[in-house]
Amino acid sequence: MSLNTHLHLHSNEKQFRCPICNKSFAQKYRVNRHLHVHNNEKQFECNICNKSFSNKYYRNAHLRMHSNEESFQCPVCNKSFSNKYYINTHLLMHSNEKPLQCDICNKSFSRRPYLVRHVGLHVNEKPSNCSLCNKWFPNKFYLRKHLSMHGAEKPFKCSMCDKSFSGKFILRRHILLHNNEKSFKCSICSKSFSNKYYLHKHSRVHSNEKPFKCYICNKSFSQKIYIDKHVRLHLNEKPLNCPLCSKSFSQKTYLDKHVRLHEKPFKCSVCDKTFPYNASLIIHLRSHNNEKPFKCSICNKSFSQKSLLTKHLRVHSNVKPFECCICKKLFSRKFNLKTHLLVHSNK
């Protein structure tokens, strides 16, 4: 590298521009490498799984996943990473550094994608709409996530259980579950996992790391699946329909619970009333014999369910454990929080 080229790195001057998207670079070779993205050229192939990459750097970083090599170690928490980009992103969490600032409200962000999504909220920019249901989204990132709910193509089928997947890598990861191979062990609790991805997710339980941040309210989550569910609350999105009454839900767990309400397989032997769960039947039977085994230690009031006693105790302590993720208002009961959230969704 010449001295002049090197000095450009210090000056932050980026004189080389991509002719397609106008993105700027400090060095000419970086522009050439970037152009492979537009041309969809992936000439660097992994000799283990045949996955292709647009440049040698990405291929080498990918190879470290196969070899379990993690050469970049965090000096704060000793966590290891397979490439420099991941460790640099991780270090921002320790330093709480947020170098990117919104020009409209001066709010700061640690990463450019968070800033771009945030700015879209100010200008009410919603350039992406779903071609199937016409729903609008602040950017293409959330549109892609939404489209998967309509039924994304899953051409890779498991030969053992007929489950289908959208990517070859996800299929290979799934097959390990059938083989019951758990060669990746947690160094803290010795729990074993079938692949590195699940081990990495598990490690966040010990480190309390929450790398997935909501672009609307900045709440953080340890796993991608949790933030996906959370964002649906903001967007008031309910893509899962009940096959019996067409009621919609934002999460599969809510849908499954609801379907059980239609079935009600557990019947009371005294009054023939039916219930979706055996636990509900047991609680109901206490109403016939007036059994109230849960007693308040402060006022001696008794309850038929433990949950009712827990709610009652909040009256004495004034504890409000349920917080609104949008305005931070506190509530003593989950039902009150859900009712309150409707106020935000109607704005």
Is 335 within a domain?
yes
Is 128 within a domain?
no
Is 77 within a domain?
no
What distances in angstroms separate CA 171 from CA 153, 163, 175, 181, 201, one per listed residue? 14, 9, 6, 15, 18
Q: What is the pLDDT of residues 238-274, one digit of tens each?
A: 878 888 888 888 878 888 888 888 888 888 999 988 8
> What is the CATH classification number for the domain harbouring 271?
3.30.160.60
Calculate Rg over the CA atoms of the chain. Answer: 26
Number of domains making up the chain: 1
Is 278 within a domain?
yes
Alpha carbons 303 and 314: distance in angstroms, whole number = 14
pTM summary value: 0.34
The sign one gets for the Cα dihedral 60, 61, 67, 73 is positive
Range(s) of the domain holding residue 333: 264-345
Q: What is the pLDDT of residues 154-201, one digit of tens each?
A: 777 888 887 887 667 677 777 777 777 777 888 888 888 877 777 888
Is 321 within a domain?
yes
